[in-house]
């Protein structure tokens, strides 16, 4: 009984650490997103208010809590702080907790490696989500490194299993095959329906989710994209010909498929069989 209680305490402490770590990474991602837009280095230079350019003190940079304490306003110029900042911090923390829940509660070497990889690659996807939502653009500076990391991680997984059977290589090939549907849409519509950034992101997500989870991720992306798009048209926020960034829906569908892809596939098969 005492051992089980101690084990629960350790797990709670780890969960708390993962949550705080996620908040800190989310705060860093906000910096990356802003400086990426300004073409500034995010590796040097102090954080500053985007309105008055005043350098921020440490007490202005505590994830979520600084936003709440300052009531969403800059300490120095009293201009509004974008709600993006606490939302990105909180979302990153929640995703990190999900990674811990799905990968590390059942601890073994492979799950540990998977968790480390997901802790690394998830911030790339969060940046893409926010940046495309704000600027209707998926930056190559984020997509290309993410594709490189994910591709070699998948090769590492095959090598680590000590099994280079052809079906594993074909699975990797089929994972990126749906991305060429995006390529067809780009060519056919002359980039009015989809952009090249969406094509590159689809390659990344294919490598990340693998076959057949990539189909789940894409289905969910189109499903939620259609619902939100129609909703915006009904509310007269958008028109039929208005441009809507698809990257956020791809990323959202990816995370759903990443954590619950197998459950969704099994649920669907139970309906048709």
Q: Is the pLDDT of residue 44 over 80?
A: no
The reported pLDDT for the residue numbered 240 is: 67
4: confidence class by pLDDT, cuts 50, 70, 90: low
- For residue 96, which of 14, 208, 21, 10 has the smallest C-alpha distance? 21
With contact defined as beta carbons under 8 Å apart, do 152 and 173 qualify?
A: no
Q: What is the pLDDT of residue 177?
A: 86
| Contact of 215 with 170, CB cutoff 8 Å | no
How many whole angstroms separate alpha carbon 164 and alpha carbon 158?
Answer: 6
Q: Name the pLDDT band for 28 (thresholds 50, 70, 90).
A: very high
Q: Residue 55 pairs with which residues in a beta bridge? A: 48
Confidence of residue 29 (pLDDT cuts 50, 70, 90): very high
Cis peptide before 212 (omega within 30 of 0): yes
Q: For the whole model, what pTM was predicted?
A: 0.88
Percent of the chain with pLDDT over 90: 33
The reported pLDDT for the residue numbered 30 is 93
**pLDDT given for residue 242 in this prediction:** 66
Comparing 20-34, 48-62, 134-148, 206-220, the range with the smallest average pLDDT is 48-62
Cα(103)–Cα(115) distance, rounded to whole angstroms?
6
Q: Which residue has the higher pLDDT, 106 or 244?
A: 244
For the chain, what is the mean pLDDT?
85
Q: Please report, for the chain, the start and end positions of each structural domain, with discontinuous segments joined by +.
A: 1-107, 109-273
Predicted local confidence at residue 273, as pLDDT: 66
Identify the sign of the CA torsion 20, 217, 202, 235: negative
pLDDT band at 166 (very low <50, low <70, confident <90, very high): low
Query: What does the pLDDT read at residue 60?
Result: 82
Does 272 score more than 80 pLDDT? no
**pLDDT, tens only, 66-119:** 889 888 888 889 889 899 999 999 999 999 999 998 887 776 778 888 899 999
Most confidently predicted of 8-17, 47-56, 82-91, 207-216: 82-91
Task: State the Cα–Cα distance between residues 263 and 102, nearest whole angstrom.
Answer: 13
How far is residue 151's CA from residue 167's CA, in Å, rounded to a whole number?
17
Query: What's the rounded mean pLDDT across residues 39-60?
Result: 80
pLDDT of residue 1: 47
What is residue 54's DSSP assignment?
A: P
pLDDT at 228 > cutoff 70: yes
Confidence category of residue 51, pLDDT binned at 50, 70, 90: confident
Q: What is each CA distance from 91 to 36, 56, 103, in whole angstroms?
A: 20, 23, 18
Query: How confident is the model over 133-149, as pLDDT tens digits?
Result: 998 889 999 999 999 99
């Amino acid at each position: 009984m005492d051992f089980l209680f101690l084990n629960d305490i350790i797990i709670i402490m780890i969960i708390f650490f993962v949550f705080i770590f996620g908040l800190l990474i989310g705060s860093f991602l906000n910096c990356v997103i802003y400086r990426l837009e300004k073409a500034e280095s995010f590796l040097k230079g102090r954080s500053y208010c985007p309105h008055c350019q005043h350098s921020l003190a440490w007490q202005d940079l505590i994830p979520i809590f600084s936003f709440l304490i300052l009531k969403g306003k800059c300490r120095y110029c009293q201009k509004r702080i974008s709600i993006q900042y606490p939302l990105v911090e909180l979302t990153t923390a929640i995703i990190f907790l999900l990674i811990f829940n799905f990968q590390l509660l059942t601890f073994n070497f492979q799950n540990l490696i998977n968790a480390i990889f997901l802790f690394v690659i998830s911030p790339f996807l969060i940046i893409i989500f926010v940046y495309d939502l704000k600027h209707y653009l998926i930056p190559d500076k984020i997509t290309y490194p993410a594709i490189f990391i994910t591709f070699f991680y998948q090769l590492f997984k095959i090598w680590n299993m000590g099994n280079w059977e052809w079906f594993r290589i074909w699975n990797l090939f089929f994972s990126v095959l749906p991305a060429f549907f995006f390529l067809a849409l780009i060519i056919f519509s002359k980039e009015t329906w989809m952009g090249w950034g969406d094509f590159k992101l689809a390659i990344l997500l294919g490598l990340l989710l693998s076959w057949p989870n990539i189909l789940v991720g894409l289905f969910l992306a189109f499903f939620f994209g259609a619902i939100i798009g129609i909703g915006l048209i009904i509310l007269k926020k958008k028109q039929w010909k208005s441009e809507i960034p698809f990257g956020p829906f791809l990323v959202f569908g990816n995370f759903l498929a990443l954590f619950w892809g197998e459950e969704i596939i099994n649920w669907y098969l139970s309906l048709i069989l």
